[in-house]
Chain A
Amino acid sequence: MLDKRINHPLHEKEGKEICFSEASLQKVEQIISRYPKGKEKSALLPLLHIAQEEFEGYLSVDVMDYVAKILNIQPIEVYEVATFYSQYYLDPVGKHVIEICRTGPCAICGGEAMQAYLEKKLSVKEGETTTDGLFTLKAVECLGACGSAPVMQINTEFYEHLTFEKIDQILDELTKKAKEAKSEKSLWKEKFF
Chain B
Amino acid sequence: MERKILLKHLDVPGIRTFGVFRSTGGYRSVEHALKNMTPDEVVEEVKESGLRGRGGAGFPAGMKWSFIDRKSNKPRYLICNADESEPGTFKDRYLMEKIPHLLIEGMICSCYALGANTGYIYVRGEYKYIIGILNEAIREAYDHGFLGKNILGSNYNLDIHVHSGAGAYICGEETALIESLEGKRGNPRIKPPFPAVVGLYGCPTVVNNVETLANIGFIVNHGGSEFARYGMGKSTGTKLISACGNINNPGVYEIELGLSVREFLYDPKYCGGIKNGKELKAVIAGGSSVPILPANLILQTAAGAERLMTYESLAEGGFVSGTMLGSGGFIVYDEDACIVRNTWNLARFYHHESCGQCSPCREGTGWMENVLHRIENGHGRQKDIDLLVSIASKIEGNTICPLGDAAAWPVASAIRHFRHEFEEHVLHPERCGRNEIGKLENVES
Contacts and interface: CB of A to CB of B under 8 A. Distances in A.
B89 A144 contact: yes
Interface string B98-110: 0000000000000
B122 to A, nearest CB: 10
B425 interface: no
Interface residues of B, number: 67
A148 B346 CA distance: 19
A43 B244 CA distance: 35
Given A85-B125, A105-B88, A44 B183 contact: yes
Interface string B175-204: 000001111111000000000000001000
A66 to B, nearest CB: 16
B128 interface: yes
Nearest to B250: A147
A22 B184 CA distance: 27
A159 interface: no
A26 interface: no
A120 B445 contact: yes
Given A144-B127, A148-B250, A46 B352 contact: no
Contacts of B244: 105, 109, 146-147, 149
Contact of A113 (B164, B345, B437): B437
A127 to B, nearest CB: 13
What band does the interface of chain A fall in when counting residues whose beta carbon is under 8 Å from B?
A: 35 or more
A143 interface: yes
> Binding site of A, secondary structure by majority: helix, strand, loop or mixed?
helix
A128 to B, nearest CB: 14
A23 B90 CA distance: 33
Contact of B440 (A44, A120, A146, A153): A120
Identify the interface centre among B126, B186, B331, B444: most chain A CB within 10 Å of its CB.
Answer: B126
B85 A141 contact: yes
Nearest to B161: A34
B127 to A, nearest CB: 7
A105 B331 contact: yes
A45 B180 contact: yes
Nearest to A50: B164
B180 A116 contact: no
Nearest to A2: B168
B166 interface: yes
A117 B329 contact: no
A116 B342 contact: no
A80 interface: yes
A147 B242 contact: yes
Interface stretch (B4-12, B149-157, B311-319, B353-361): B353-361
Contacts of A73: 183
A88 B333 CA distance: 33
Nearest to A83: B185
Identify the interface centre among A107, A115, A144, A148: most chain B CB within 10 Å of its CB.
Answer: A144
B134 to A, nearest CB: 13
A48 B166 contact: yes
A145 interface: yes
A91 interface: no
Given A39-B201, A81-B183, A46 B163 contact: yes
Contact of B90 (A41, A85, A116, A144): A144
B146 interface: no
B87 A105 contact: yes
Given A87-B166, A116-B439, A108 B352 contact: no
Given A109-B244, A142-B85, A146-B331, 7 more contacts: A103-B345, A103-B349, A104-B349, A107-B342, A143-B126, A147-B90, A147-B252
29 contacts: A2-B352, A34-B161, A36-B118, A49-B125, A84-B168, A84-B355, A85-B186, A88-B166, A103-B349, A104-B349, A105-B88, A109-B246, A116-B438, A116-B440, A119-B440, A120-B440, A120-B445, A121-B445, A141-B87, A141-B169, A141-B349, A141-B352, A142-B85, A142-B88, A144-B84, A144-B93, A146-B89, A146-B90, A147-B250
